[in-house]
Copies of this chain bind each other. A is one copy, B any other.
Amino acid sequence: MPDKVLVYSRFPKAMTARFAERFDLMITNGKPPAETFSAAELSDVRAIITSGSTLMGAKHMDVLPALKTIICYGTGYDGVDLAEAAKRGIAVGNSPGANAASVADIAMTLMLATTRRLLPADNYVRSGDWANAKPSPLMSAQAGNVGRKVGIYGMGAIGRKIAARVAAFESDVAYHSRSRHDVPYRYEPSLAALVAWCNVLMIAVRAGPDTHRIIDAEMLRRLGPDGFVVNISRGSVIDEASLVAALTDKTIAGVGLDVYEKEPHPPDALTRFPNVVLTPHVGGHTLESHAAMQGCVMANLEAFFAGRPLAYPVGADG
């Protein structure tokens, strides 16, 4: 009989097909497991697959008394209470770096689209306004990338790939993270200093209690009226109410977001701005990235059921 694995978050079927070939999958579609399965069925579940941002604290673990491993599909594990898991002897694994190129590419897409006003430009053509020579203040010349100051907050696998891409656009790169890394970019000792320096703030930091809403009204004021924010990390890093206020009163120039505090529910107010580009958390959503993340999940599950340490335990990637 194949090993049982509970699929805790909601995943499209295509993303779990490979696991279904090997394991006996219990699908919750993102609903609390007790709504779909009996206590008896849940009593011997030893392994779950979850998205890293799905909440997995003490009360969620209580429902799964035999739980011994939490495998996150993707890089993030911000929804998992690591201390609680450690206390219970639950091993937590993720997919480090597997989606880094794909996420870095969305960061660049958002930066380019926002700073060059791609959405208004496409609309200017499609609406016929260009053909009719209708004046458009949104179509005025903007600053380009040569010499642009791009600040990267977080220098993990994704931050490094963003930095390499930004440098190719002839922009200046600086970064801030908890510690200095061996990378050829200038280190700023504080987030506040990075924000004051940069024109585009790229958020690539790992989410957690210490970064919760760290991009607040004061940080946005420091970024200034020519400044842009791009976030491909987690929505919790930005105080969304302050972001909406900063866009409303033009404290900043624009924003590109792939992630939101409450997904899939971005603030309605955000969707009304022309200087905003919004994507539905698709950073890691490429064929290669899914294949790589699925490879990590499979390796973690195989190791677990073979009684070995996880192939990709959380934290091992620094």
Using a CB–CB cutoff of 8 Å, the interface residues on chain A facing chain B are 14, 101-102, 105-106, 108-109, 112-113, 116, 118-119, 121-122, 124-126, 130-131, 133, 139-147, 164-165, 167-170, 264-266, 271, 277-280, 282, 285-290
Contacts and interface: CB of A to CB of B under 8 A. Distances in A.
Given A131-B264, A289-B144, A105 B101 contact: no
Q: What 8 A-B pairs are tightest by C-beta distance, nearest first?
A: A144-B286, A168-B168, A109-B112, A125-B278, A130-B280, A126-B271, A121-B279, A130-B264
A287 B146 CA distance: 11
Given A142-B285, A165-B168, 16 more contacts: A102-B146, A108-B108, A109-B109, A109-B116, A118-B277, A121-B278, A126-B271, A130-B264, A130-B280, A131-B264, A141-B287, A141-B289, A141-B290, A143-B287, A143-B288, A164-B168
B125 A279 contact: yes
A172 B125 CA distance: 31
Contacts of A271: 125-126
Given A113-B118, A124-B280, A145 B101 contact: yes
A105 B168 contact: no
Given A165-B168, A168-B164, A168-B168, A280 B121 contact: yes
Given A113-B109, A288-B143, A288-B144, A280 B118 contact: no
Contacts of A142: 285-287
A144 B168 CA distance: 18
Contacts of A101: 144-146, 169-170
B282 A139 contact: yes
Q: How many copies does the complex hold?
A: 2
Nearest to A292: B146
A164 B168 CA distance: 6
18 contacts: A101-B169, A108-B112, A116-B282, A116-B286, A118-B118, A121-B279, A122-B277, A122-B278, A124-B280, A126-B278, A131-B265, A131-B266, A133-B264, A141-B290, A142-B287, A143-B288, A144-B288, A144-B289
**Which one of A109, A118, A277 has the highest number of Cβ atoms from chain B below 10 Å of its Cβ?**
A118
A119 B167 CA distance: 25
Nearest to A143: B287
Nearest to A124: B280
A108 B168 CA distance: 11
B165 A125 contact: no
Contacts of A122: 119, 277-279
Contacts of A167: 168
Contact of A116 (B106, B130, B140, B264): B106
Contacts of A112: 105, 108-109, 112-113
